[in-house]
Amino acid sequence: MEELLRRLREATSVFVLTGSGISAESGLPTFRGVNGLWRTHRVEELASPEGFARNPKLVWTWYNERNAAHRQAKPNAGHYALAELEKRVPAFTLATQNVDSLHLRAGTKNLLELHGSLRVARCTKCDARRSLDATGLPVEEIEHECGGLMRPDIVWFGEALPETAWRQAAAAASQADVVLVVGTSAVVYPAAALATHYARNAYVAEINPEETPISDGVDCSLRGTAGETLTTLVERFLASTRHKTLPRDPKHNYGGS
């Protein structure tokens, strides 16, 4: 952690990639863990355009349950630590693969939701959008008036990531001095490439209790949970920079204002 702290103190640009592991301490399941979503559900039935076309009611029932769980969950210490870090570094970008909105609720400002969010449904035909509340989308309202189907505004397998979010994430990862990869198995592309290909000029630290396919290639592996590890990291970072004057950039928010 010492070298990571030194790099963070010197960094003008920090990029963070998160996955479902950061929300595990908020009580939300990961995808590929022991009790993960993909252990008990068929991926191709629930998270693919073909699965949705076959059985939109089943897909919405699953997403409505997850939407309700997201709204009951609270951001944890890991989400808050990253929101705090954003205030203390000159440039900060957080790209998340999660659709649970917990980074947003923790106060992260420069947030890119690479796989979309469960806050919105959109029509497969006319692209009309509709905000979702805690109920989600009642299955009798799946059919849109234009003849299309309302679907969750998220990215399923085989679908392109939102273009602007992807472009901004790739640029931020390429320009970053420090990249934190938190709570992701790093097996899903193109998001995982942000931590490898795009971050090749950065000091890359992985925060994950388990090894992942990228562990051998990163500069530093912190084996622990996101909540505990990020809290310690950010507390130590703040303690060591308390008397340091940060460079000023009007685009970013400093000093916990």
**Is residue 37 within 8 Å of residue 31, measured between CB atoms?**
yes
The one among 13, 26, 30, 108 contacting ligand BJW by CB under 6 A: 30
Query: Which residues does 218 contact at the CB level (< 8 Å), separation at least 6?
Result: 181, 195, 204, 205, 206
Q: What's the one-letter identity of residue 149?
A: L
Which of the ranges 5-13, 18-26, 102-110, 241-249 carries the binding residues for ligand BJW, by CB under 6 A?
Answer: 18-26
Give the x/- contact pattern for ligand BJW in 42-61, rule: CB under 6 A.
-----x--------------
Q: Count the alpha carbons within 13 Å of 60 in the hemisphere toward its beta carbon.
A: 21
Which of the ranges 25-33, 124-132, 138-146, 249-257 carries the binding residues for ligand BJW, by CB under 6 A?
Answer: 25-33
Count CB neighbours of 73 within 10 A. Answer: 17
When asked if residue 24 is in the footprint of ligand BJW (CB under 6 A), the reply is yes
Q: How many helices and strands, by DSSP H and E, does the chain display? A: 10, 9
When asked if residue 247 is in the footprint of ligand BJW (CB under 6 A), the reply is no
Which residue of the set 115, 144, 197, 252 is catalytic?
115
115 is catalytic: yes
Give the x/- contact pattern for ligand BJW in 144-183, rule: CB under 6 A.
----------xxxxxxx----------------------x
Smallest separation (angstroms) from ligand BJW to the CB of 126: 20
In whole angstroms, what separates CA 80 from the centre of its chain? 13
| 247: preceding bond cis by omega (within 30 degrees) | no
Residue whose pair of structure tokens reads 């939300």 in the numeric block:
28
When asked if residue 25 is in the footprint of ligand BJW (CB under 6 A), the reply is yes
**110 to each of 13, 58, 148, 169, 251, how far by Cα in Å?**
12, 34, 33, 10, 11
When asked if residue 20 is in the footprint of ligand BJW (CB under 6 A), the reply is yes
Give the x/- contact pattern for ligand BJW in 80-119, rule: CB under 6 A.
-----------------x-x---------------x----
Closer of 160 and 239 to ligand BJW (Cβ): 160
Q: Dihedral, CA atoms, 41, 165, 110, 25, nearest 10 degrees?
A: 10
Give the x/- contact pattern for ligand BJW in 185-204, rule: CB under 6 A.
x-xxxx--------------
List phi, psi (to 5°) of 121: -115, 150
Q: Looking at the chain, how many residues does it have? A: 257
Give contact residues for ligand BJW (rule: CB under 6 A): 19-22, 24-25, 30-33, 36, 47, 97, 99, 115, 154-160, 183-185, 187-190, 208-210, 212, 225-226
**Residue positions annotated with a catalytic role:** 115
